[in-house]
Structure 1
Amino acid sequence: MKKWLMSLFIFFVLVISGCQQDDEVKPEDRLQEYITHWESYDYQAMYEMTAAVEQEEFIDRYENIYSDIGAEELKVNFEIPEQSDTEEENEEIASMVYPIQVSMDSIAGPISFDSEIEMKKTVEVINDEETTDWKVNWNPGLIFPQIKDGGTIGINTISSERGQIYDRNRQGLAVNESIYEMGVVPENFTENSDSEKEQIADLLEISVEEIESQLNQEWVQPHYFVPLKVVPSLAEKDLADAVSKIKPLTYQTVIGRVYPFGEATAHLVGYIAPITAEKLEEVDEGIYSENDLIGYRGLEELYEEELRGKEGIVIYAEKEGQEPVVIAEKEVENGENINLTIDIYVQNELFYALNGDAGTASAINPVTGEVLALVSSPSFDPNAFLYGLSSSTWDKWNNDPANPLLNRFASTFAPGSVFKPITSAIGLTNGSIDPDEGFEINGLTWKKENWGNYSIRRVSESAGLVDLEDALIRSDNIYFAMQALQMGEEAMVSGMKQFGIGEDLPFTYPIHSSTISSDGALDNEILLADTSYGQGEVQMSALHLASSFSAILNEGSIMKPTLLMDEKDGEVWKEGLISSEHAELLQNALRKVVTEGTGRAANTGSAEISGKTGTAELKQSQNQEGGQENGWFVGYPSDGSMIISMMVEHIEGNPDGSGYVAKKVADAINNLP
């Protein structure tokens, strides 16, 4: 009996002893708990599991360093070292060292390192009972091994160089060049400092208060250069001469964005400027900050991602008296250069031919589809947004009735009579127009009996029958209205769609889509008739009009318009629009428009020019008279090297009418090398 009781007692002791051993906290359990907090960025919980370390040093360092480097996807693994199986030896263990592997993503790319973490045994007496636990023996090397024995973590950002924009001749349209940071050296002011400040303020178009504010900054020393304003050129206001005469005024050269052709390419290229608070909300905060420049308008905005590039970042550890040690590095990626099909010589000639008139012009190569010019007039100086846009200039632009901030080449307009060759091609191809058949038209006006008070007016009376060639030469609205009514809505709409009217223009730069009418139909006789000669509700961009004329020169095909040199050119967008026989007929007629008809103003200079004039009346109703008139001319030289489409607003009252526009196009063609 006693033996049985003794055996039972020993059994319970062993069980209790075993339970106590199982309940004892193991160092790897605590380490795993610590790592869980670490991977969750719970620095407070981590701190509570460390031994003998200042809270501020621990928590603040983790928060600051991990935040600055953008630590994400943190993973920590550890290995359990081999342990002695002897119970006595295990009881004597006061610490355990575990190899760890740490990995994370950062703003400079992935970071990984191997280290060791020591778990120290702690013993606390609670209610006369000893409690054993384990804590992390922390040191800064667990953040990064490079700072285990002291040092700091630094970040160096290397700005990317913005890509440049070139034309087909490698002429820079948006380039990074030397610019001039104008400023003053305080100790160089003379006893006439007030007068000198006023002169400088007038030259740089800033206020004296702005100069004094810059001079009163805490960092300023008498011999320091104090920047005031950046300018793209010293030629402006003879700044170089002013520097030699105003003693405190000087400059230093820096690299900045410059738009060499200014207003001529402003709407096409756009500009960069400091990012606004509103813009900052629209973009990736991980890429942009409130101190960045960003593209606005045009290609600078359209290709912002490609042009901007990606900044380089170096994360490093630094100790006094030692070379920095790189922890992670992301190489800088400079922005891509954009090479355009634009020919700056054509662009400039068309812009200056418009001579400040409100209007637009486009030029294309009809065989390749390459776009040679996209012009909007009047325009603005894109350099001003970077180098000092005064409130008076901004107000002037915004209040100008001609609206220089409006990009007209991206817009659509009523084409007027330059649409007649398109109607001709549609009718010739579907067989509704017989070029040899003539209509007898009497007087200057015509209408159908059921049209009430509405009638169609033509420019001049005819002598005898009016055929297609005569109608094009004299720009006879009545002839085309009759042909459209004979053709019918279905054939006319179908033909317009074959020219791409009513669909998006397949072009890199966003151009408004041309439209047939407000609802895409021509189910009203008057609307159908008016559309035939470019009135009604039809709207087209200058680029689409130039492209449409290319069918006449390019064996019935319209090539997909291209803007980038690395785009595949010569790709057909629309084909089979007109036969070679009918195309030749139209070519002959368009030449006679210039030599005998409404386009005689273009019959100047050495170039033989063909084309079509047009006047679009902008009416609020069919019966309105005396409204705005826009003049058009779409023309090309005899070698067919380009087609130019130009529109000038408000030609009403101009005695030359659309001939005013035809002469501008002719002058541009004749001035080209």
Structure 2
Amino acid sequence: MAKKSESNMKNVAVSRYGWIVLLMSFVFVAIIICIIKIKYVEGSMWRELGRIETVKKDREIRPNRGNIYSDDGRLLATSEPLYGIYIDFMSEGIRPDTLMKYVTPLSEALAKKFPDRSAGQYKKVILDGWDLSRRELAQIERNRKEGSNKKVNIKSRYVRIIRPDINYLDLKELQTFPFLNQRSNRSGMISEEKTMRLKPFGRLAGRTVGSIYKDFSMGGTSGLELKYDSIIKGVPGVRSRQRVQGRWIDVVEVEPQDGWDIKTTLNIEIQDMAEKALYNKLVETRAESGCAIVMEVATGEIKAITNLDRVSEGVYAEGNPNAFSYMSEPGSTFKTVSLMVALEDGVATPQDSIYVGNGLFQYKGRVVKDHDWRKGKDKAYQTVAQGMYSSLNVVIAKMILKGYEGNPTKYVQHIHDLGITKKIEWDVPLKGKEGTAVIRFPNDPSNPWSKTTLPWMSFGYETQIPPIYMLMFYNGIANNGKMIKPFITKAFMKDGSIENEFETEVINPSLCSEQTLKQVQDILRGVVTDGTGKAVNSEFFPIAGKTGTAMIASQGGYSGYFVSFCGYFPADKPQYTCFVGIRRPVGSPSGGLMPGAVFKNIAEGIYTKSLVAQPINAPKDTVNSLIPVVKNGSFKNTEIVLDKLKQKYITPTEKAEWIMANTIDSSSMKIKLLGNMDIKPGVVPNVKGMGARDAIYVLENAGLRVNLQGAGKVKDQSIPAGNKLVKGSTITIQLN
């Protein structure tokens, strides 16, 4: 019986084992079938899905846009990465207890670093974001339970924590703050990188340097940024993102190629002088617009170029490229062209006398008028040189009629031969006829001459010559007859090395004979010493040039004036040529008093900064009485400077960090450094009398944002000293 039972148990075990083997065989076959199906039948689909889920390809790597530099290597435009800071409150790694533990110290740290919000405001933003995420999750769960497909608008995944975009250094510091010093999946912090184009010198040379679109990929919109966009924007790279062990990592497939840098010819100091001088005169004359260009005589390098347009009453800003786009009649600055042509062709000499009378000359039914004809003064005869000094239209018109009335084509051809109508490729993007000079031939079928074109052309009408061409021509006179192209782009650079350097381009190696050139140079000097340019004359160095006043053609008539001055300095050894033009000023138009004054300010500024070889010594009897001007500010720094100058001073009786200064003790001739400026926490400090650096330090240290205007020392502040301090407020300080 026992044997039978044992045999039955064995049969049952074998039977069960057989069923298990059979079942496992079926499972094995099923697995094999699935493998075959997945690999061969559905293989392509699963591989593509896997690639999509684990690899994201063809993500662009933005290259660094090239920098733009001044002539001495200072930055005019550069790119800086900035970061917008957000928190994803839906992040699965955020632990509520950790957030609540650190929300207060985090808020305090944020308020100290970014004081435009208080610690309480930061805390509210964070807690509101957290509460919003809980409500959104609850709504999602309710929709799920109700079987609703209604989509919940999730806002808590992208809550902005800090208002301004911050730089990389601030970002790294932020990542050390409480709660944010965790991994991103635990803190939920998102840093969204943006690239901003910065101009360290603000609006200086803004129109020439240009600007770019907010979307970097669209490139430049104006100026050098647009002209050389293809060179400075670089070539994007390619990267893919792969999911490895639940984390995404970047894999660079094609490295980006950063854009080349541009080195310009612009000089920061000269540019600043030109902009300030022109701006002030435009405000004074309430003009519509203006331009000023400074060019280095020997090289053709443009050291300053400013184009200002009125945007509101008393306010001007960089707008149109006026130096190239003033396609108007130049007026009397063109008389120098007529003079050179006539002298070179032997039509006249500087000593030739021409009858002027009362300044009116009728020619074929049209009257040529001198600027002072209303005075009715009989000037009788004037020499050609005197006619240039006084800018007499009658003298120039009669001189050109005498030589070319029978063959006007010869006159126009000679002007073209000078090179001032040559089409030139400029460094800035232009439209249509901008940047070209238009001087018609008598037989031009598209725009034929009138019977009076010749005399009017001789003194700068019935032509279109932008300021840049007049500058180029006058520079040729200063450069011993060699006319060269003005240019702004000096070189293209890569990683600090020059890849392509631009050389001086000669337009005309010799404008005229040495004799003619000397005569023209002497006459241009006489315009400043004895003629319409007297206001431009400097007591420090000789200046040569010519004034210009032209009515502006408008809708078949004339409306307003374009006044200009073009010349060079020092006249005996020319270093710089400068053109200044002002369009539609209010008041009596004058090329000498309006643009001439701007020219003089620029010239004397450059001369005192860079052309004076030796400093002028003060008389010996005054040396001991010269006391340096000391601004209010840091006591420690003031002491260092005065000790270096070996200047005696009286220290304050009490220890002070910030002092008032420059009160002079009459008995000892010492500077008295007065006591503490009493800078208290919680109130707006008094920074009047301080220099810019100390004032900015004190105000920003107090938690204020500073808007700086002017130069020198602080004369006014928009928020009075002693007012209750509101951190994050903006205060404007005016310097003089």
Same structural fold, with TM-score higher than 0.5 when normalized by the shorter chain: yes
Asked whether the 8 Å contact 1:184–1:228 carries over to 2, the reply is no
Using the TM superposition, give the Cα deviation of residue 295 of structure 1 relative to its aligned residue in structure 2, in angstroms: 1.2
Using the TM superposition, give the Cα deviation of residue 310 of structure 1 relative to its aligned residue in structure 2, in angstroms: 1.8
Using the TM superposition, give the Cα deviation of residue 155 of structure 1 relative to its aligned residue in structure 2, in angstroms: 5.3
Asked whether the 8 Å contact 1:493–1:521 carries over to 2, the reply is no
Asked whether the 8 Å contact 2:359–2:379 carries over to 1, the reply is no
C-alpha deviations, 1:479-512, integer Å up to 9, x for none?
1111222232212211221233443124333452
Alpha-carbon spacing, 1:671–1:439, altered in 2? closer, same or farther (3 Å): same
Matches of 1:605 and 1:303, distance apart in 2: 43
Residue 15 of structure 1 corresponds to which residue in structure 2? none
Using the TM superposition, give the Cα deviation of residue 462 of structure 1 relative to its aligned residue in structure 2, in angstroms: 6.5
Residue 476 of structure 1 corresponds to which residue in structure 2? 392
Show the 5 A alignment for 1:101-140.
none
Is structure 2 residue 602 aligned with structure 1 residue 602?
no
Using the TM superposition, give the Cα deviation of residue 304 of structure 1 relative to its aligned residue in structure 2, in angstroms: 1.2
Asked whether the 8 Å contact 2:396–2:458 carries over to 1, the reply is yes
Residue 347 of structure 2 corresponds to which residue in structure 1? 432
Amino acid at match of 1:435: P
Using the TM superposition, give the Cα deviation of residue 369 of structure 1 relative to its aligned residue in structure 2, in angstroms: 1.7
Show the 5 A alignment for 1:40-439.
51-53=40-42, 56-57=45-46, 152=55, 154=57, 157-177=60-80, 218=154, 220=156, 226-230=161-165, 256-275=196-215, 292=217, 294-315=219-240, 318-320=243-245, 329-355=253-279, 357=282, 358-378=289-309, 405-411=319-325, 412-439=327-354
Residue 643 of structure 1 corresponds to which residue in structure 2? 577
Asked whether the 8 Å contact 1:507–1:560 carries over to 2, the reply is no
Matches of 1:50 and 1:255, distance apart in 2: 45
Using the TM superposition, give the Cα deviation of residue 559 of structure 1 relative to its aligned residue in structure 2, in angstroms: 1.0
Is structure 2 residue 591 aligned with structure 1 residue 591?
no
Matches of 1:360 and 1:157, distance apart in 2: 42
Structure 1's unaligned 5+ residue stretches are: 1-46, 66-150, 191-198, 201-207, 233-250, 276-290, 380-395
Asked whether the 8 Å contact 2:357–2:381 carries over to 1, the reply is no
Out of 497, 507, 510, the residue aligned to residue 416 of structure 2 is: 497
Using the TM superposition, give the Cα deviation of residue 183 of structure 1 relative to its aligned residue in structure 2, in angstroms: 8.9
Alpha-carbon spacing, 1:344–1:53, altered in 2? closer, same or farther (3 Å): same
Out of 437, 444, 453, the residue aligned to residue 527 of structure 1 is: 453
Asked whether the 8 Å contact 1:311–1:333 carries over to 2, the reply is yes
Alpha-carbon spacing, 1:325–1:259, altered in 2? closer, same or farther (3 Å): closer
Matches of 1:49 and 1:220, distance apart in 2: 40
Q: The residue matched to 2:204 in structure 1 has which SS? A: helix
Asked whether the 8 Å contact 2:293–2:580 carries over to 1, the reply is yes
Residue 509 of structure 1 corresponds to which residue in structure 2? 428
Using the TM superposition, give the Cα deviation of residue 300 of structure 1 relative to its aligned residue in structure 2, in angstroms: 0.8
C-alpha deviations, 1:229-263, integer Å up to 9, x for none?
4499xxxxxxxxxxxxxxxxxx9998632112333
Amino acid at match of 1:543: I
Matches of 1:471 and 1:292, distance apart in 2: 57
Q: The residue matched to 1:615 in structure 2 has which SS? A: strand
Asked whether the 8 Å contact 1:310–1:335 carries over to 2, the reply is yes
Matches of 1:339 and 1:478, distance apart in 2: 47
TM-score by length of 1: 0.61
Is structure 2 residue 615 aligned with structure 1 residue 668?
no
Q: The residue matched to 2:414 in structure 1 has which SS? A: helix
Is structure 2 residue 567 aligned with structure 1 residue 578?
no
Alpha-carbon spacing, 1:293–1:523, altered in 2? closer, same or farther (3 Å): closer
Matches of 1:543 and 1:576, distance apart in 2: 19
Q: The residue matched to 1:466 in structure 2 has which SS? A: strand
Asked whether the 8 Å contact 2:565–2:579 carries over to 1, the reply is yes
Matches of 1:152 and 1:342, distance apart in 2: 48
Asked whether the 8 Å contact 2:81–2:196 carries over to 1, the reply is yes
Asked whether the 8 Å contact 2:528–2:545 carries over to 1, the reply is yes
Using the TM superposition, give the Cα deviation of residue 371 of structure 1 relative to its aligned residue in structure 2, in angstroms: 1.9
Q: The residue matched to 1:376 in structure 2 has which SS? A: strand
Alpha-carbon spacing, 1:264–1:491, altered in 2? closer, same or farther (3 Å): farther
Alpha-carbon spacing, 1:560–1:304, altered in 2? closer, same or farther (3 Å): same
Residue 457 of structure 1 corresponds to which residue in structure 2? 370
C-alpha deviations, 1:88-144, integer Å up to 9, x for none?
xxxxxxxxxxxxxxxxxxxxxxxxxxxxxxxxxxxxxxxxxxxxxxxxxxxxxxxxx
Alpha-carbon spacing, 1:158–1:435, altered in 2? closer, same or farther (3 Å): same
Asked whether the 8 Å contact 1:180–1:253 carries over to 2, the reply is yes
C-alpha deviations, 1:21-50, integer Å up to 9, x for none?
xxxxxxxxxxxxxxxxxxxxxxxxxx9998
What's the % identity of the aligned pairs? 21
Amino acid at match of 2:418: F
Asked whether the 8 Å contact 1:601–1:660 carries over to 2, the reply is no
Asked whether the 8 Å contact 1:615–1:658 carries over to 2, the reply is no
Matches of 1:56 and 1:261, distance apart in 2: 57
Matches of 1:221 and 1:455, distance apart in 2: 77
Amino acid at match of 1:628: G
Using the TM superposition, give the Cα deviation of residue 350 of structure 1 relative to its aligned residue in structure 2, in angstroms: 1.3
Q: The residue matched to 2:567 in structure 1 has which SS? A: strand
Asked whether the 8 Å contact 2:70–2:267 carries over to 1, the reply is yes
Matches of 1:183 and 1:329, distance apart in 2: 29
Amino acid at match of 1:302: K
Using the TM superposition, give the Cα deviation of residue 582 of structure 1 relative to its aligned residue in structure 2, in angstroms: 1.5
Q: The residue matched to 1:295 in structure 2 has which SS? A: coil
Alpha-carbon spacing, 1:183–1:366, altered in 2? closer, same or farther (3 Å): farther
Matches of 2:346 and 2:482, distance apart in 1: 18
Show the 5 A alignment for 1:527-566.
527-536=453-462, 538-566=463-491
Q: The residue matched to 1:262 in structure 2 has which SS? A: coil
C-alpha deviations, 1:452-483, integer Å up to 9, x for none?
x5443343656453222111110011111112
Using the TM superposition, give the Cα deviation of residue 182 of structure 1 relative to its aligned residue in structure 2, in angstroms: 8.9
Q: The residue matched to 2:490 in structure 1 has which SS? A: coil
Residue 630 of structure 1 corresponds to which residue in structure 2? 562
Matches of 2:419 and 2:549, distance apart in 1: 22
Alpha-carbon spacing, 1:508–1:403, altered in 2? closer, same or farther (3 Å): closer
Cα RMSD between the aligned structures? 4.4
TM-score by length of 2: 0.56
Matches of 1:400 and 1:659, distance apart in 2: 19
Alpha-carbon spacing, 1:231–1:271, altered in 2? closer, same or farther (3 Å): farther
Q: The residue matched to 2:306 in structure 1 has which SS? A: strand
Alpha-carbon spacing, 1:557–1:462, altered in 2? closer, same or farther (3 Å): farther
Matches of 2:37 and 2:423, distance apart in 1: 64
Matches of 2:605 and 2:250, distance apart in 1: 62
Using the TM superposition, give the Cα deviation of residue 227 of structure 1 relative to its aligned residue in structure 2, in angstroms: 4.6
Residue 286 of structure 2 corresponds to which residue in structure 1? none
Alpha-carbon spacing, 1:498–1:229, altered in 2? closer, same or farther (3 Å): farther
Asked whether the 8 Å contact 1:376–1:409 carries over to 2, the reply is yes
Residue 111 of structure 1 corresponds to which residue in structure 2? none
Matched residue pairs, number? 472
